[in-house]
Amino acid sequence: MAENFTIYAPIDGELISLTHVPDPVFSERMLGDGIAIDPIGDTIVAPFDGEIINFNPALHAFTIAKDGVELLIHVGVETVMLNGEGFAPLVAQGDKVVKGQPLLQFHPTFLSQRLSCAYVLLVVTSPAGALLVNRAPEGHTATGTPLFQVLLQKETSSAADNTVQKSTSVLANVRLYDNPEQLVSIHIANGKIEKIVPTQESCPGQLDGKGNYVLPGLIDLHIHGFGGFGPEIGTQESLLRMSQVLLEQGVTSFCPTLYCGQPADMENLLRTLSPVVGTEKGARILGFHLEGPFISPQKPGVMKPQDIAPASLETFERLYQAAQGKIASMTFAPEVAGIEPVVNFCKEKGILLQAGHTNATYEEMLQAKSWGVHHVTHFCNAMSPLHHRAPGAVGAALMDNNFSCEIIADGVHVHPAIISFLRRVKSSRKIVLVTDALLPTGQPEPPFYANREEVILEGGVWRRKADHVIAGSALTMLQGVKNLMAWGYSLEDAVACASTNPARLLGLNDRGMIKEGACADLILLDKNLNLKKVFRG
């Protein structure tokens, strides 16, 4: 069976965006995904074990194949050394090659005369489809360093056989999370809960829940990726695969979250991804969460400062149009100049406004509340702290019960004692569990990349490899539920934080609860809260 594999840099050079390739006509007609290198070295080597299936010196191109996946390597030299005279091939069509084996040697004349726009373009194509994940960030790369992994298409299935993606007629012998004393049967029709009755005798089509707990499906409103999939990959396929793997984790609805980026880049990403929203077979996509670009330069977190943009209604309208209106929420700093027209637009369109990555004063937070902003992004993280003379954003969110608080309950982003304290001073209706998980969460093998930076798992969180600064969470929603209970929350409170409250925030009255007429998005847990089955209504 074909296995996933890594593609390594075939030459020393600088990784550049495909948009910087000086021959866009060539790259745009490739039916695949790729990366470009401005070469520094003088030899191209095999980026993986494979076979040369095509070698065309006249077009400065050759193709290496492995397990049905083809990697086309195109050497662009503009007008310098045409017709293959710029390099000497060291292999021929039909040759078997191994990783690191020299394939092509540049002529010294090419190295001395080449223009700065020379490049090596690598494009992956596959009849069966292949996905590139864990891309190396732009910048210098040395021969033999990982560029990305090729993930081959396979039928998705849960190793524990714990995922059911269609409704069953009756789920019998289960305990409701908020009333565990009685065994009940949940009757499901057309993806909806038809009725809930005490379990009596078995009936046709019944699935025995064996006395396990049943909870509404988990809803994650802030998540960047999972299992190596996510919006930052930039393909519709990756977003759909993220939906599939999240369902296997008990998440039945989610908001894929975009990092703060250059507005034009965010626009292009939304334009690419939005057409598949509503076609997913896994966890339902509720709409995109935009974490920026109108955030505070003083509180960027791991967002790139150069990507932070001044507030502009025109900019946001373009983002909204690119997303085909499929924006569920936006994180912004309420103190930035010119933000109020954007706030008003979001309110008109039903977009959840989240104050975050903000250096707002207490008074500015109260002003935002008067505009209708009642939710904060990852409470305590990337926001002005509580001080006895300046309560800041943390103080406003903590003391004013109009604000609901998004929390990353991994015990690192916020101390468990603060999460326990939050429950004592705020209604459980005002606490929303999220993961803010990064793309490599749940990914089995390195290298791990998030937001085009290499990260490592250390102390239960992802940290940038370069400086060990926390880059984001490795939390799952189910582990977050378990953590809340370990820190003093009841099961009913934890479910409210993980399902009911997120649904209410987005105005969804058909999920996040178990009642007649609700969507039959359900998860089955044993007494230790281990996931047994998932139902997508």
Report residue 341 as tokens.
Answer: 């027209």
What is the number of other CB atoms lying within 10 angstroms of the CB of residue 420? 14
Torsions phi, psi of 312, nearest 5?
-155, 120
* 8 A C-beta contact, residue 308 and residue 301: no
Torsions phi, psi of 176, nearest 5?
-65, 140
The Cα 78–Cα 411 span in angstroms is 54
The Cα 363–Cα 184 span in angstroms is 50
Three-state DSSP at 311 gives: coil
* 8 A C-beta contact, residue 381 and residue 406: no
Instruction: Determine the distance from the C-alpha atom of residue 40 to the mean position of all C-alpha atoms in its chain, rounded to a whole number.
Output: 33
Three-state DSSP at 524 gives: strand
The Cα 386–Cα 422 span in angstroms is 14
The structure tokens 């007494």 sit at 527
DSSP per residue, 228-252: TBSGGG--HHHHHHHHHHHHTTTEE
**Computed over its alpha carbons, how large is the radius of gyration of the chain?**
26
The structure tokens 């409704």 sit at 167
- Minimal CA–CA distance to 489: which of 525, 441, 529, 460? 529
- Minimal CA–CA distance to 47: which of 142, 140, 133, 152? 142
The structure tokens 């996509």 sit at 285
DSSP per residue, 99-168: TT-EEEEE-HHHHHH--TT-EEEEEEE-TT-EEEESPPPSEEE-TTSEEEEEEE------TT--EE-S--
- Minimal CA–CA distance to 495: which of 516, 475, 512, 473? 512
Report residue 394 as tokens.
Answer: 């943390």
Report residue 283 as tokens.
Answer: 């966890």
Angle formed by the axes of helices 263-273 and 313-322, to 10°? 20
* 8 A C-beta contact, residue 67 and residue 151: no
* 8 A C-beta contact, residue 257 and residue 218: no
Catalytic residue list contains 74? yes
The Cα 217–Cα 197 span in angstroms is 20
Catalytic residue among 60, 74, 289, 378: 74
Angle formed by the axes of helices 313-322 and 340-349, to 10°? 30
CA angle 461, 464, 467 (to 5 degrees): 120
* 8 A C-beta contact, residue 12 and residue 44: no
Annotated catalytic residues are 74
